[in-house]
Each structure stands twice: as structure tokens, then as C-alpha cells.
A = this chain, B = another copy of it.
Amino acid sequence: MRRESRLIWWIWWIVVVTALFLLGFVIGWFAKPTHSNAENNSASNKYLREFLDEMQPDQIREHLRKFTQLPHLAGTEQNLRYAEQIKKEWMEFGLDSVEMVPYDVLLSYPNKSEPNYISIIDQLGNEVFNTSLAEPVPEGYENVSNIVPPYSAFSAKGQPEGDLVYVNYGRTEDFFQLQREMNINVTGKIVIVRYGKIFRGNKVKNAMLAGAKGIIMFSDPADYWAADVQPYPDGWNLPGGGAQRGNVLNLNGAGDPLTPGYPAKDYTYRFSLEDGVGLPKIPVHPIGFHDAVNLLKNMGGQIPPNNWKGALNVSYRIGPGFTDDFKSQKVRMNIHTDNQVTRIYNVIGRIRGALEPDRYVILGGHRDAWVFGGIDPMSGAAVVHETVRSAGKLLSKGWRPRRTIIFASWDAEEFGLVGSTEWAEDNTKLLQERAVAYINADSAIEGMYTLRVDCTPSLHTLVYDLTKQIASPEDGEEGVSLYESWHKRDNWTNDRDAPRISKLGSGSDFEAYFIRLGIAAGRARYTKNKKTERYSSYPVYHSVYETFEIVEKFYDPSFKRLQAVAQVRGGLIFLLADSQLLPLDVNQYADSLRKYAQSITQLAQKHPEEMKMYEVSFDSLFSAVENFTVAARDLHECLQTLDRADPLQVRIMNDQLMYLERAFIDPLGLPGRPFYRHVIFAPSSHNKYAGESFPGIYDALFDIQNSADPEKAWEEVKRQISIAAFTVHAAAMTLTPPA
């Protein structure tokens, strides 16, 4: 070769070598994933399918059978045994860790040597009638010991005597009507009310405020009897000898009454019983309708309006006291129930998150039951058990969720949501900073009709998406999704073509997580047809007749309904823990806020003149909602263009989504209720069960009818509107892109 061509060859050679190297470099550079945690969505989806399919009716049946054989009241040996068994099995299923977490809390039990009962006494004080000391035990359980008789937990002790006054459901409005329209004063009387409509603790509080010296609650067939159904064991109606147990506290989220705000540990300061939160100062007792007839049948006084009449064959006269023929007779309550600081046990299981171990998704439900807990809570606990089993299976196949999942078996829910609240108090800082969502798992079934979901608005979309991937459990609906089945049976309302989802109230273990801490929360169960089945909860609620058999024979013989509920609860946990971007819908929150603002405005507009006189305006609230809506839309758009390969950006967005619910928390709490801190959702002060939106405004409006100083009452309405507007504005700010 000539030198020249040799040179050209070398140049050419160098160019090619360099080009090749550069090509390799460039391809290498771009071939390398920027981030080790790039999402593998299809893998996650595949695992979701496996996770849902693994949950089996037969398994759930066996879990339920196993944990309903013996009574397991909170604080008893048997409930500890079940806790240990759950711990053992969760470890076997494959959780990373399971621990027992004890607290020493105030519980309440009947005195074993002095039974509780109610008497009619004659003028000599002789007992001419006594209510029953226990429910007739269902067949097959005759030899079971430790069945606690019906009682009102935390009742004051005492033996008050007096005339009876009947006050319908014992609601605030019932007492108003009694005092204002019927002119009856219950001071020094014993009131008798029927169960239903509102939480029993609210009835007791109302009776105390009205001056009653005792209160009796009975289950009226009008409220606890389904049409054309036999009483248990031939059907699922409440026998006349059955009665509803339950606590009668007014805790408003405080947890253990002696350690409000702090976990009940060994070193924790305890208030005296006199200073304890929410303990009633008068005796309280529950009875069935066989006993109620005997107390009501001879009552004198006015005949009440029809909506005060139940379905018993008595006139439901108001009293006070008995008719002339029985005038000398009085009623005496004999209540010897004891309060007692007692050790309880939560069981806490964990699956460590692979990428974000410091983000928690919680599935929690209680384990303690009044007796066997066939429905409440073990239908829910069996579902959690199956969820844990299925998750363990998945772990063994190599799956691990992005975030940490926590499973909880709470204790002492029946005594005021105590186990779950103490754990929330114990872990309050961690939860505040790290909890993504809490899914509740109380009773999984209360009817045979369709799904019922109560949850925060940001979870609506996820619930809909998920239920489309789950099969309907109803016979004859093969190939129909749970979503479709549910949609057909319970469409929202006129304004939205989707299955109905309701607001969270209280009365179960999500309370501390949602209303105190502001963690996105939801619950799901199978329910009755609310349009045709008007009874409260379900007929045998909190009675000895809540057995395994009532579920197996009547509520869910195939256990497919419980399977569907397991798939909903489990699927929510799975998607919240494993999705790269949190499946929380901020636009839905905006829509819901607008509806709530409209509905609270409508409530206020029942007083158009006062609104004008006191210059009450909701403009600031609507303007805040508008603000929130725009911010939500902007965030939603940001999410669409997010660089999902950038782990820091994903985390920043997820933080915004996670902390949205937290933004609705006001550390000052609602008026007089320091542990109810959620400005958008809380029960009203008049009924713990019902979730109200803008509860501060709601209560202020409620109080107007009751106030001696209307100007002051309207000032409080205005103050509450201002707090609501501020909170929604502040929440909107958290949705705005940072800095």
C-alpha cells in the first residue's frame, strides 16, 4: 500500500472503531434502566389475579368455624387463645413477622355473683316480675360455659326505682318531642327506649342529660324482625328471648376511657373512674321483646304518635308509670356490672415493603365477640385470615409488595374500639407520617342482597375498578362481575350512574385511623336490601344467636358472598400496597366536596330568615371547593405526564396523594370532641353510627333548634363554615405542585 492509502485506511479504521465504540456506548447508556425500581405493571396485575383467585369459600368456611366454637369476649382467656392461634397461623401462612401487642384497658363485666335484671315491684317492694337473666342457649351450645348474659357494658351500678317513661328510640328529637310537645319531664324517672336508628350510647347520654335515673333498652320486632322469616334456629330473626349486648360509652374516639390520647401501657397515667371519658353515670340494661312486653303492657299516660309505636301488641303509652290499675307498681333496675382494668391483645402481622417499607397499608378488624361472634366479627376475621393466607401464598412465589402491609386482629372493639385506638395512639407518629390507607374488616355480612361500601371519596374509583375484576357471588350470575351485580341492585342516585358508596360514620375500628389521624379509609361488607328490609343492622346482632350456623344455613351457605368480600378487602390492600402510583382519586374528592357543600347549604337554608339576619354565607366554602377542584384537576394532569422512571418524582407525587386525607385533620378537633379531628367526615354528636359531611357545621346547625341564644348559635355556624373553608383551602394547597 502506498503511504497515502495506508493513511486513509488508518483514518477509516479509526473512524469505524470510534463509531462502533460510540454506538456501543450510546446503546449501553440508553439500554440501562435509569432506575432499579421501574414498575412492572403486568407482573403486578398477574399477581393480583392470583391473589384474588387463591381466596376460597371452603377455606373461609373453615376459618369461620374454627374461630366461633367458643365465646371469646375481650379480656377473657379464650380470646387470648384465639389471638395466639391467629399469630401462629399467620406465621405459618408466611408473614414476615407477627406480634402480640398488649394494653391494659378499662373493660366492664357483669358481676358473676349478682346478676343484672329489672323488676316490677309492688308497693311493698316485692318483685312481681323479673326480666330474664340470660338468653335461651341455641341448640348444640348447651354445654358451653362463659356465655355472658345480655348487659350494657360500662353501665353505672345501682338499683334505681321509679316510674317508666317511654321515649321511642331515645334520640335527641324524641326527647325534644317528649319535653316540648308532650310536656313530660323525665327527671328522676327510668326511661325505656327501643333499640335502633342511633348508637345506644347516644340514647344513654340523652337520658342522662334529660335527668333520668336509669335507662332500659329493648329490641322491638319492628326494628329487629324481618318479614316472613322465622326466629333462629329456623330462620335468622331474633327470638323474643334474645337481647342486644353492647357498650354504652360516649367516647368520641378517646379509646380506653382512662388513658385518652395515649396508649394504655404499664407506665401510662390513668385517670380515676370519676374522670374517665364517656362513662355513663346511670344504670343501663338491655332486654328482649318478651320481657319488654311485660314492662310496657300496663303503662299509662298519653298514647304516642304512630311513629313512636313498635310492633308489639301493646299501646306504647308514654307514662310516666303504669295505668291506674297498676299505679302502685314501680320499676326497679338491679345493675351490678363492674369496671375492670384488663389486659387485651392485638395481633399485628407484617409484610415488609420491597421498595417503600416506610409506607403502610393496613387491613384491620376485631377478634373479640360478645359471644360466639358468628357474624360480628368473625365473618370479617375469617375473611382477613383468608387474605393473609393468600398473601402468604404469593410471597412464596416471589412476590413482595412495593409498600409494607400490616394485618391487625384487634381486641376489645366491643368495648369502645379500644384495641385499635390504643394501637393507633401507640403508633400515632408513624401512622401520621407513613400510613397510606386503612381498610376495615368488621362483620363481612349483614344481609344477603349486595355489596355495601363506605369509604373516603379518593377510594371510590379504586373500588369500582376492583369490583369489575371480581365475580358476583349470587346464584344465576355466572359471568357477571360484582360491580354489575352491585350496580343493578343499588344504583347511586339520580346524579350518578354507579353503585352507591356511602360516607364512613363510626362504630368500628377505622375510627381512630380515619377520623383522628386522617388516613384514607374504607370498609366493605355484604348487606341487606335497604329499600325493603327496614330493620336495624341484622336481627340477631350482639345476641347469643350469632353462631357459625346462622351464616352457614342462612346468610351465605356457599360462602361465596364472604369470598367476594374477601376479594374486595384484599384487592384494595393489594392495589394500595403494590401500585407504583397510589390509586387515590383526587378529582373524586373534589366532586364529593362539592356535593357535601351543597347539601349542608340546603340544611342551613331551612332557616332562610335567620340566614339573612345573621349574615350567614357559604360563599367561602364554595370558593374553597372551587379552589380544591382546580388543584385536583391540575394534580391529576401532572400525574399523566409524570416520569415514572424517576423514583424521586414518583415518591413526591405519592406523598401528595397520601397526605391529602391528612390535610383534612384539624388538631384542635371538633367542638368538645378533641379526638374527632376530621373536618370533612365525622359522626354527628347525636348518632355515632351516621357519618356526616362537614360535621362541625352539621352539629352547629343541629344545635340551633336547641339553643337559648340563637345569635350565639348562628355565630357558631359561621365559625364552623370558616373552619371548613380554611381546611378545604389548605387541602387544595397540598395538591398544588410543590414550590
Residues of A within 8 A of B (CB): 16-17, 20-29, 31-32, 34-37, 96, 261-263, 265, 267-269, 350, 352-353, 355-358, 360, 404, 426-430, 433-434, 619-620, 623, 646-648, 651-652, 655-656, 659, 662-663, 666-668, 674, 677, 718-719, 721-723, 725-726, 730-731, 733-734, 737-739
Partner of A738 from the list B22, B404, B674, B721 (CB cut-off 8 Å) is B404
Q: Please name 25 pairs of A and B residues whose Cβ atoms are closer than 8 Å in the assembled complex, sorted by A.
A: A17-B20, A20-B21, A20-B24, A21-B23, A22-B24, A24-B25, A25-B25, A29-B31, A35-B647, A261-B668, A262-B726, A263-B726, A268-B726, A269-B719, A269-B722, A352-B739, A428-B730, A429-B659, A433-B659, A434-B738, A647-B647, A648-B648, A648-B651, A651-B651, A667-B667
CB of A244, distance to nearest CB on chain B (Å) = 34
Chain B, Cβ-Cβ closest to A658: B433
Given A21-B21, A262-B722, A722-B269, A356 and B652 contact (CB-CB distance below 8 Å): yes
A28 vs B37: C-alpha distance in the bound complex, in angstroms? Answer: 20
A263 / chain B contacts, CB cutoff of 8 Å: 726
A25 vs B24: C-alpha distance in the bound complex, in angstroms? Answer: 4
CB of A76, distance to nearest CB on chain B (Å) = 28
CB-based contact B356/A731 at 8 Å: no
Given A648-B37, A725-B267, A429 and B29 contact (CB-CB distance below 8 Å): no
Partner of A429 from the list B261, B647, B734 (CB cut-off 8 Å) is B734
A215 vs B22: C-alpha distance in the bound complex, in angstroms? Answer: 84
A23 vs B20: C-alpha distance in the bound complex, in angstroms? Answer: 9
Given A29-B31, A355-B648, A734 and B430 contact (CB-CB distance below 8 Å): yes
A241 vs B202: C-alpha distance in the bound complex, in angstroms? Answer: 65
CB-based contact B21/A358 at 8 Å: no
A25 / chain B contacts, CB cutoff of 8 Å: 24-25, 27-28, 31
A238 vs B429: C-alpha distance in the bound complex, in angstroms? Answer: 49
A34 vs B34: C-alpha distance in the bound complex, in angstroms? Answer: 6
CB-based contact A35/B35 at 8 Å: yes
- Which 10 residue pairs across A and B have the least CB separation, nearest first? A24-B24, A28-B28, A267-B620, A358-B738, A25-B28, A269-B722, A21-B24, A357-B739, A24-B25, A667-B667
CB-based contact A662/B404 at 8 Å: no
Chain B, Cβ-Cβ closest to A732: B429
Question: A96, A721, A730: which has the most chain B beta carbons within 10 Å?
Answer: A730
A737 vs B358: C-alpha distance in the bound complex, in angstroms? Answer: 8
Chain B, Cβ-Cβ closest to A351: B739
CB of A548, distance to nearest CB on chain B (Å) = 35
CB of A738, distance to nearest CB on chain B (Å) = 3
A31 / chain B contacts, CB cutoff of 8 Å: 25, 29
CB-based contact A734/B433 at 8 Å: yes
A358 / chain B contacts, CB cutoff of 8 Å: 652, 655-656, 738-739
CB-based contact A24/B35 at 8 Å: no
A96 vs B647: C-alpha distance in the bound complex, in angstroms? Answer: 25
A353 vs B719: C-alpha distance in the bound complex, in angstroms? Answer: 37
